[in-house]
Structure 1
Amino acid sequence: MSVYDFKVKTMNGEEKSLSDYEGKVLLITNTATECGFTPQYTDLQEIYSKYADKGLEILDFPCNQFGNQAPGENDEIHTFCTGRFGVTFPQFSKIDVNGENAIPLYQYLVKEKDFNGFDAGHNLTPILEKKFDESNPNYKNEPDIKWNFTKFLVDKNGNVVRRFEPTADMKLVEESISELLK
């Protein structure tokens, strides 16, 4: 099994097979428009602009499960992202990434790559760790998505090779992408 075995819904509700991206490096992320990590759209777009013609696709899945930070309909989210951040990478229909309504793709992604903790150097790490320690002291041992802008890196064969939490240094994300594109 690989990510190519899944189908997702586009912004306008049409079904799209991820096999359409076969042979490309993928960065799959759940996003939100009103989150402290929303400025990562700038970094994501810069990475996309730099590597799209070398075989990278960034797949953006808005998700409203974390603090209701992705309000609005698909077209409103898309307009915000293109207008404010110049996003040109594919955006898909708003989804759930956790729980009984999580789409099959995300159920697969979290089984492939567990949560390995937030990155120590990020200024939001202590806030996130405190929040999760208070609500679920066992959160570190559960593979579910913890917050917006969690990213999964997929190689050209559809294998999930790495998971980046939202606190990951975007330079590290870019370096990992660059390495897979070689």
Structure 2
Amino acid sequence: MTENPQRIYQFNAKLINGKDKNLADYQGKVLLVVNIASACGFAPQLKELQELKDLFKEEEFEVLGFPSNDFGGQEPLEGEAIHDFCEVNYGVKFPVFEKIMVRGEHANPIYKFLGSKELNGHIKSTPRWNFHKYLVNKNGEVVDYFYPFTKPLSSKVKKKIQRLL
């Protein structure tokens, strides 16, 4: 583990509407960062992710969705079409960002940070499919991850979030 691990707050990202968002705006919140895809078999997890957000609505908790087409071409949509799909089909109100790459040499710097123990100081886990979830504590440190088959409303996920809140 590195002495002074970097924090997720050093990054900026573009929201799906094209507006820049500094992740430092989420300081003091527990974050669940998820790579999402509309045509994935795990897409119904979007509804569960929103329900998880609603479950902790009185707490300092946020879900951040990053669409990606890295796995099986399962995010064919672009821009507002992604947002509309998430909102209309699954009631998503949490922040959804512009489509990015989440693995490989061209991965977005946020995902390079999330998946690399050398960069985040805590865990090593790059997404192997859509709906890979990273848990970030209130200090901006990556502290855990969940594979795509781990449902957002599972007791495992909820308990870990509660512990960090």
TM-score by length of 1: 0.81
Gaps (5+ residues) in structure 2?
A: 1-5, 118-122
Per-residue deviation, 1:165: 0.7
**Further displaced range: 77-86 or 5-14:** 5-14
Letter in 2 for 1:12: N
Structure-2 separation of matches of 1:169 and 1:21: 23
Structure-1 separation of matches of 2:63 and 2:140: 14
Give the conservation status (yes or no) of the 8 Å contact 2:131–2:147: yes
Structure-2 separation of matches of 1:17 and 1:110: 20
1:75 alignment partner, SS class: helix
1:98 alignment partner, SS class: coil
Structure-2 separation of matches of 1:45 and 1:103: 24
Q: Work out which of the residue numbers 122, 132, 141 in structure 2 matches 1:150.
A: 132
Match of 2:90 in 1: 85
- How many correspondences in the alignment? 153
Per-residue deviation, 1:176: 1.2
- For the aligned residue pairs, the C-alpha RMSD in angstroms reads 1.1
Give % identity. Answer: 45
Matches within 5 A, 1:110-121: 110-112=115-117, 113-115=123-125
Structure-2 separation of matches of 1:7 and 1:150: 20
The answer to whether residue 35 in structure 2 is matched with residue 30 in structure 1 is yes
| 1:68-114 alpha-carbon deviations (Å, 9 max, x no partner) | 11111121111011001100100000000012221111000001322
- Structure 1 residue runs of 4 or more that deviate by more than 4 Å after TM superposition: none
Gaps (5+ residues) in structure 1?
A: 116-143
TM-score by length of 2: 0.89
Computing the radius of gyration from Cα coordinates, the structure with the larger value is 1
Give the conservation status (yes or no) of the 8 Å contact 1:11–1:74: yes
